[in-house]
Chain A
Amino acid sequence: MTDATQSGVRVEQPSVAREDNAEGMEFLETFKRRLVFTYLPLGIIILVLLFPFYWMALTAVKPDEQLLDMETFSPFWTWSPTFKHIDKLLFHSNYPKWLWNTMYVASAATALSLFASVLAAYAIVRLQFRGAQLVGGLIFLAYLVPPSILFIPLASIIYQYGLIDSPLSLILVYPTILIPFATWLLMGYFKSIPFELEESALMDGATRFQILTKIVLPLAVPGLISAFIFCFTLCWNEFIYALTFISTTGNKTVPVAIVNEFVDGDIYRWGSLMAGALVGSLPLVILYTFFVEHYVSAMTGAVKE
């Protein structure tokens, strides 16, 4: 079953962000110098990076009259927060439906992509069938094909299949964005699993599928979590396909619905618009806070490959 060359597969560390070892010579810097050249620019950059979110959250809880009157009320804070906008959003609009659509499409597309990617990554790394390298290269190339040049022909294909305006169209199309990424990420993790484990399982008569489900996958759980989180975020973020394929209000995803449904001439729309953006971002931010390390390793791992 095994070639001599295969048992020599290099054991690689999975690309998890490593411990900081860059203390180096920084004790030579004075505190004043550090303050001016490190903390000050860092503070400014972080302030700029976070300000839109602060502004989004603040606007979402500000009463309408304070929103537009910047002279009598300080625009940077409010002492009388209101949940009117969020309440209106959650109980008097289609927003829960959109949130559910997004969640449903993202979960289904992610599950489908992970299933396909696990099989593909395992076959490329471990089965090493004829042409495995070529197929791996093709999958990487697929990563470089952006949705912006595919949405027009895809719209006509989806229309021909009769899937237009159905969440199923998004569930089938999103994997083309996710599979290349997830496959490359998982290939890195699978390479790091010692081949000897598989050899002994093969000797004991396990089938390839048993090896995959009972040995490889349990050992690659961190990789699976990374791939899952990243895919889920990408689905949630996807816009152009959802905008093109879905036309009924009730079938829209959050990003599309916010851009199209909330934009009326109402001068007081900002509160509910910002509340919509805030509530739409929260699930991802919560997911992110639990899995920061996996997220970072997914991002850097995919680039390092």
Chain B
Amino acid sequence: MTRYFTEDHEWIEVDGDSATVGITHYAQSQLGDIVFAEVPAAGATLKKGGDAAVVESVKAASDVYAPVSGTVIEGNAALEGDPALVNSDPEGEGWFFKLTLSDSSELDSLMNAAAYQAFVDGL
């Protein structure tokens, strides 16, 4: 399994032709206390860079974009009851959705962990 990152602070962990998507530690730390998350429904089709989910902190609502195109397999139902999972475990239990990739070549434009770390350090 390989994990990739976007400049919009999403992570995507790819396993064959399916993948899990969430937001990074850096993203959650910038957002602060998460009070609500809206995840896409199974079957929704997402386009790379398009709106995929919404995450709301006490002070603001933010969009989560699809790192790649694909069809949603499952949204993380646990976030409905416990949106703070995005703060406590953003790159684990606080994932947003799983999807089937429609074009794995789209992964080529994403960053690996080291490149993302360098990107965040430069912000």
User: Do the two chains bind?
Assistant: no
Chain A residues engaging chain B, CB cutoff 8 angstroms? none
